[in-house]
Structure 1
Amino acid sequence: MTKILFVCTGNTCRSPMAEALLKHKNMGNIQVRSAGIYANNGSTASANANEVLGEKDIVLDHNSSQLEKEHIDWSTYILTMTSNHKHLIVNAFPEALYKTYTLKEFVEGEGGDISDPFGGSVQTYRQTMLELERLIEKLYKKLI
């Protein structure tokens, strides 16, 4: 069983969208969670994240989680939205070094950050979701 953990800053935009997009693939051999480096436990996903996923008929039932050691121990792969997230994780949890990648690094072999739509318009969220959708498709193909 492969266990994917998506990580962003507040766990209300990018990582929950990535989690929902991968879960929507209904892959039985993969478990998916998300967390945030600076998340407040129990916050709902942003309204705009819910809206743009709803346009794809994906329901986002989400409560944010602060990244903790149990997430690190649980995961097979930790996929971050930015290289800064990756560095923060590896500094805090050195044991995660060999399983932590940026999402782009893991699926495309090169770095690059996924922009944070927090506080942006629905169109900004839609652009982030489309980028995530493209990357999740590549991730799906890599994992199957």
Structure 2
Amino acid sequence: MNILFVCTGNTCRSPMAEALFKSAASRKKLDVSVKSAGLFAPENGKASLYAVEALFEKNIALNHSSAPLSKEKIEWADLVLTMTEQHKFLARQEYPDDQEKIYTLIEYVMGGNGDIADPFGGSLSAYQKTRDELEHLLKELAEKLSETMQ
């Protein structure tokens, strides 16, 4: 299964989600490939230093270059998980033929509505809070997928 995480600039939330989910999926021995992209991301931008630091605290390396969302990435993905309702709306608008595989992370995992707060420009503690929220959701996602992929 190919999973694509999407945020705005692909420097904070979606790269953190990609790295955290790779770790969670590895622990569950899931057969998944994971990438991330941003709706307004530059090509080859650097991950936020605080995103790198927040993951380092969990012994997860973040070697990341940003990438814009593209038709190729959408077609590669079996599941596209956005960080906000607005990201989902924009992605579905841009790629109407692929709407059925685009969800917010919270919607797909928990069945509800809600956004992952953007820590961009904030303090390390803001990144840690986002990391912790993502980590919880991504453990749930790994559990959900391990049940359906068996």
TM-score by length of 1: 0.98
Displacement after TM superposition at 1:71 (Å): 0.6
Displacement after TM superposition at 1:95 (Å): 1.2
SS in 1 for 2:91: helix
Q: What is the correspondence of 1:86-101 to structure 2 with a 5 Å cutoff?
A: 86-101=88-103
Paired residue for 2:135, among 111, 133, 136? 133
- Answering whether residue 13 of structure 2 is matched by residue 14 of structure 1, we say yes
Q: Aligned pair count?
A: 143
CA distances 1:62-101 after superposition (whole Å, capped 9, x unpaired): 0000000001100000000000000001111001210000
Greater helix share, 1 or 2?
2
Q: Please give the alpha-carbon distance, in whole angstroms, between the structure 2 residues aligned to 1:39 and 1:137.
A: 26
**For structure 1, which runs of at least 5 residues remain unmatched after alignment?**
none
Instruction: Give the superposed CA RMSD.
Output: 0.7
1:64 corresponding residue in structure 2: 66
Q: Please give the alpha-carbon distance, in whole angstroms, between the structure 2 residues aligned to 1:29 and 1:58.
A: 19
SS in 2 for 1:24: helix
Q: What is the correspondence of 1:1-144 to structure 2 with a 5 Å cutoff?
A: 2-25=1-24, 26=26, 27-144=29-146
**For structure 2, which runs of at least 5 residues remain unmatched after alignment?**
none
Q: Which amino acid aligns with 1:43?
A: G
TM-score by length of 2: 0.94
SS in 2 for 1:52: helix
Which segments of structure 1 move beyond 2 Å, counting only runs of 4 or more?
none
Q: Please give the alpha-carbon distance, in whole angstroms, between the structure 2 residues aligned to 1:117 and 1:28.
A: 29
Q: Which amino acid aligns with 2:53?
A: E
Q: Which amino acid aligns with 2:18?
A: E
Q: Please give the alpha-carbon distance, in whole angstroms, between the structure 2 residues aligned to 1:135 and 1:122.
A: 20
Q: Which amino acid aligns with 1:4?
A: I
Displacement after TM superposition at 1:24 (Å): 1.4
Displacement after TM superposition at 1:28 (Å): 4.8
